[in-house]
């Protein structure tokens, strides 16, 4: 302190050492608890600064980092040497390179933010995750982007009226899709319609009704019933032949 600021050193040396220096405290108190108002004064002095974020990235990116850290608690890591680490996510192994900011899952390279495998390796070496984010997300880039004056847009009421044509309607084959494609780990919507299946009243299985049941009991037919069925079929075929001949005669008469 004397080499850094001699005035501050002289200020402290004018104060009795037993009031502020640990090595000069009285030894008969038998208590390690020390209370002073210096910390309270310091906290009151930086009250506005304490509410400010301490991240080097924006608040949205900081939220994403915290979520990734929560998802990384179930991963295990092993050092592979030269900034390389083997991260085990369940039964799958991923190779992470902290020097190149890469992971075999490719999520780090695509988004520029460390994936949960990379976060596991970063926490393993006790480093800050935000320091391994792409420079695109840093506050310096944000300040540079908005350092110049941006011209405001014109009011819509001041623009000239123009006729805007509708885009050409193009219909694709098949029924149009109403619901979007969801991720594998995304829950189904709360208003999703439940799929109903047919249950057989005979065998109580799903997928068919009583008429298509293969376990339906066989019905025995007597000889008299068999003869009646044959006579009915012959009568129906005879009527069909007579009707076809009548139609042919009508066509011939019209032709003549």
Q: What was the pLDDT predicted at 113?
A: 94
Distance CA 6, CA 12 (A): 10
The tokens describing 92, both together, are 């799958």
Mean pLDDT taken over the chain:
81
Q: Is residue 192 scored above 60 in pLDDT?
A: no
Q: Poorest-confidence range of 22-26, 87-91, 93-97, 130-134?
A: 22-26
Going by pLDDT thresholds of 50, 70 and 90, the confidence category of residue 115 is: very high
Q: Poorest-confidence range of 82-86, 138-142, 203-207?
A: 203-207
238 vs 32 pLDDT, higher one: 238
- Round to the nearest angstrom and report the end-to-end CA distance of the chain: 130
Going by pLDDT thresholds of 50, 70 and 90, the confidence category of residue 67 is: very high
Tell me which residue of 56, 54, 52 sits closest to 132, measured CA to CA: 56
Region 225-244: what's the mean pLDDT?
76
The tokens describing 246, both together, are 């009548």
Q: Poorest-confidence range of 159-168, 178-187, 191-200?
A: 191-200
Going by pLDDT thresholds of 50, 70 and 90, the confidence category of residue 100 is: very high
* Span 139-170, pLDDT tens digits: 888 888 888 887 777 777 777 777 778 888 87
Q: What was the pLDDT predicted at 158?
A: 74
The number of angstroms, rounded, from the C-alpha of 146 to the middle of its chain's C-alpha atoms is 30
Contact 11, 3 (CB under 8 A): no
Distance CA 139, CA 131 (A): 12
The tokens describing 88, both together, are 């085990």
Which residues, in sequence order, are CB contacts of 137 under 8 Å at separation 6+? 57, 58, 61, 112, 113
Q: What does residue 84 show for φ and ψ, rounded to 5 degrees?
A: -110, 145
Going by pLDDT thresholds of 50, 70 and 90, the confidence category of residue 96 is: very high
Region 50-57: what's the mean pLDDT?
75
The tokens describing 9, both together, are 């050193």
Distance CA 105, CA 220 (A): 66
Contact 69, 119 (CB under 8 A): yes
Q: Is residue 125 scored above 80 in pLDDT?
A: yes
Contact 130, 57 (CB under 8 A): yes
Q: Is residue 64 scored above 80 in pLDDT?
A: yes
Distance CA 56, CA 62 (A): 9
Q: What was the pLDDT predicted at 112?
A: 93
Contact 112, 136 (CB under 8 A): yes
Q: Poorest-confidence range of 68-72, 119-123, 175-179, 194-198?
A: 194-198
Distance CA 190, CA 249 (A): 67
Pairing of strands 76-81, 84-89: antiparallel
């Amino acid at each position: 302190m004397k080499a850094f600021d001699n005035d501050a050193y002289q200020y402290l040396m004018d104060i009795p050492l037993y009031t502020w220096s640990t090595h000069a405290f009285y030894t008969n108190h038998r208590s390690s608890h020390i209370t002073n108002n210096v910390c309270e004064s310091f906290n009151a002095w930086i009250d506005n600064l304490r509410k400010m974020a301490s991240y080097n990235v924006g608040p949205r990116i900081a939220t994403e980092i915290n979520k990734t850290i929560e998802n990384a608690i179930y991963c295990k890591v092993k050092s592979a040497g030269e900034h390389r680490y083997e991260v085990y996510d369940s039964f799958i192994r991923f190779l992470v390179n902290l020097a190149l900011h890469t992971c075999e899952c490719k999520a780090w390279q695509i988004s520029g933010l460390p994936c949960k495998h990379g976060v596991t390796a970063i926490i393993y070496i006790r480093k800050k995750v935000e320091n391994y984010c792409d420079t695109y997300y840093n506050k310096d880039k944000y300040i540079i982007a908005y350092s110049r004056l941006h011209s405001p847009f014109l009011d819509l009421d001041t623009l000239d009226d123009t006729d805007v044509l509708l885009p050409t309607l193009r219909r694709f084959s098949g029924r149009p899709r109403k619901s979007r494609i969801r991720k594998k780990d995304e829950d189904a919507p709360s208003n999703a319609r439940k799929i109903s299946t047919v249950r057989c009243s005979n065998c109580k299985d799903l997928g068919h009704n009583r008429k298509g049941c293969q376990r339906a009991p066989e019905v025995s037919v007597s000889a008299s019933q068999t003869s009646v069925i044959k006579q009915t079929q012959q009568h129906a075929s005879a009527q069909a032949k007579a009707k076809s001949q009548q139609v042919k005669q009508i066509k011939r008469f019209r032709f003549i």
